[in-house]
Amino acid sequence: MKFLVAAIILCSLSLEVTGFVESIYQFGDSLNDVGNAILLPTIGPTLPAARPPYGESLPGKKPTGRWSDGLLIVDRIAELLNVPLLPPYLSNPNGPFPNGVNFAVAGAAALNFSVLSSQGIRPLFPVPGLQDQIGWFKSYLSTQCSTFTDCCSYLSSSLFVIGEIGVNDINSAITSGKTYQEIMEFVPLVVNATLQAIRDVIALGARKIAVAGNLPIGCQQFTMLDYNNSAAAGPYDADGCLQNPNKIATYLNQLLVSGIFNLTVDFPGVKVVYLNYYDAFQGLVQIPAAFGFDPKTVFQPCCGNGVLSDADVFCGGAEAALCGDPDEFISWDGYHLTQAAYSKIAEYLTLPVLSAAL
């Protein structure tokens, strides 16, 4: 690792400081998937995000593979940094991607299937995970540069956004019957996989990295249902969210922040910044009216059955109802958020994003 640290420092010293980024590389799951999942062979076209009313708030009301009515956090980050919206990697794996590309896949886990299986956990979704996404990036980068110095130069104006990632690992543990304590003991494995992905992109030449923490998963409608029927169930808090899953998310985020600090010590030539999704989302739940949301709909999805009682009626199905105004709702489909909610979270993250980008 000493050689890598020295190479990073030399690279940083030899390159001109370029200010804002010119390209973004996003890794993660459905919170930032802009279309990769619906491009997967066989299952892609059958996914809810491939059909209306997903994309309801986009021009032409056309579904793009975003798991929302409109734009996502990564889209707002791109707008903030004056970078064109990122294409999904699977739309053209050969590139080129002069302004970056999005590798995130809905349903992706931080851990690979073999590790999950070794823990007695059945993966919820058979889709490319974080490790696969890093592999895609390596494959693409090999077509653009050949040495570390060349790649460091190529990526000098690039921002890497890792996550949010890990919630699908946690939800897989829940549906596999793991107890609260077992899941808490499992969390460090999830965080270590995320930290390893960060090390991987650093080793490839990344110098500006933003790492997103997890949302308070105990405040998400269908996750609440999963927990209520699981061995990990627990009491509700004052906000109306389940305490145990939020404790799991908090623990995960704490470990992630600690790991990020260690990375900044290990790699002084690299900037790694934490994006606090948890607090940003919790604010929407606690004082929804202050952000323009209807307090009566905090725990109701805009698209779906509209009440927290039946997880079988999911957005995109023939029987799924659609609310009158998605901008008044925090939740889009019970798992994912509306464009309005994502926009508020992105606003909250403005300073750390700019810090990472500079």
One DSSP character per residue, 52-88 reads TTTTTTSGGG---S-SSSS--HHHHHHHHTT-PPPPB
- The three-class DSSP label of residue 27 is strand
Does residue 333 carry a catalytic annotation?
A: yes
Alpha-helix residue ranges (DSSP H) falling in 237-307: 243-266, 277-286
Q: Is 5 exposed, middle or buried (0-12, 13-18, 19+ CB in 10 A)?
A: middle
Catalytic residue among 156, 327, 333, 343: 333
Nearest Cα neighbor of 26 from 136, 153, 149 is 136
Number of H helices, E strands in the chain: 12, 7
Give the distance from CA 27 to its chain's centroid.
7
**DSSP code at position 227:** H
Catalytic residue among 23, 30, 68, 176: 30
Does residue 294 carry a catalytic annotation?
A: no
18/159 Cα distance (integer angstroms): 12
Nearest Cα neighbor of 25 from 132, 192, 141, 129 is 141
Catalytic residue among 23, 158, 336, 343: 336
Contact 236, 42 (CB under 8 A): no
159/317 Cα distance (integer angstroms): 37
Q: What phi, psi does 24 have (nearest 5°)?
A: -130, 140
Contact 338, 308 (CB under 8 A): no
Q: Is 270 exposed, middle or buried (0-12, 13-18, 19+ CB in 10 A)?
A: buried
Give the distance from CA 128 to its chain's centroid.
14
Does residue 336 carry a catalytic annotation?
A: yes
Give the distance from CA 237 to its chain's centroid.
25
Torsion, CA 303, CA 308, CA 313, CA 317, rounded to 10: 10
Residues forming the active site:
30, 333, 336
